[in-house]
Amino acid sequence: MIIGLAGRRIDAPGADPPRFPLESTARVEGRLRELFEAQAARALVSSAACGADLLALAVAGRLGMGRRVVLPFDRARFRRTSVTDRPGDWGAAYDRVLDEVSATGDLVTLDAGGEGAEAYAAANDAILRHVAALAGESSDEALAALVWEGAPRGDDDLTAAFGEAARQRGWRVVHVSTR
């Protein structure tokens, strides 16, 4: 099984409604481990934002799975805008994971251009393409995992869009709760 993953970042202080509270990280990490083991996952493709992505990458590393990270833009900018801007000590985990995947040639940095949703949507599309390629090379099944509270924030919710794009490819989509 090759898993493509998208999900929520850790909530900003005062988030209303809460989607991924910092205190849920251990519970979500356990759920991710159960999912990867139940699916006999061989590889994970995701981005590396604080929350769902970094937790999944850490679990995958401990399980000896292959890991590929797709960033919408350069490593330092992503760290600043998607990792260390939320509560928790995510910077060290990010640096460690990116060093590890860089060493194996599995860090993909896009030049998506621009800011915000367009850049992140391009990264999601690239994640799905990389999952499809890895699954095709190994004759494995592709699976999309959404790590979230289960409800889109609106029409522009990128986690929901990731799941829909995976469904359109004919993939099974599983949900991992952040609560």
Q: How do the domains of the chain map onto residue ranges?
A: 2-177
* Both structure tokens of 97: 């994971």
Spatial contact of 150 and 31, defined as CB atoms under 8 Å apart: no
Q: Is the pTM of this model over 0.75?
A: yes
Task: Give the pLDDT confidence of 60-78 residue by residue, as tens digits.
Answer: 999 999 999 999 999 999 9
Task: Give the pLDDT confidence of 121-137 residue by residue, as tens digits.
Answer: 999 999 999 999 999 99
Which residues, other chains included, contact 60 with Cβ-Cβ below 8 Å and sequence gap of 6+? 36, 41, 43, 44, 66, 67
Rounded Cα–Cα distance for residues 82 and 169 (Å): 27
Domain 2-177 CATH (choose: 3.40.50.300, 3.50.50.60, 3.40.50.450, 3.40.50.2300)? 3.40.50.450
* DSSP helix/strand/coil, 37: helix
Confidence of residue 44 (pLDDT cuts 50, 70, 90): very high
* Both structure tokens of 124: 């999601």
**CB atoms < 10 A from the CB of 55, how many?**
29
DSSP 9: P
**CB atoms < 10 A from the CB of 138, how many?**
13
Rounded Cα–Cα distance for residues 158 and 144 (Å): 13
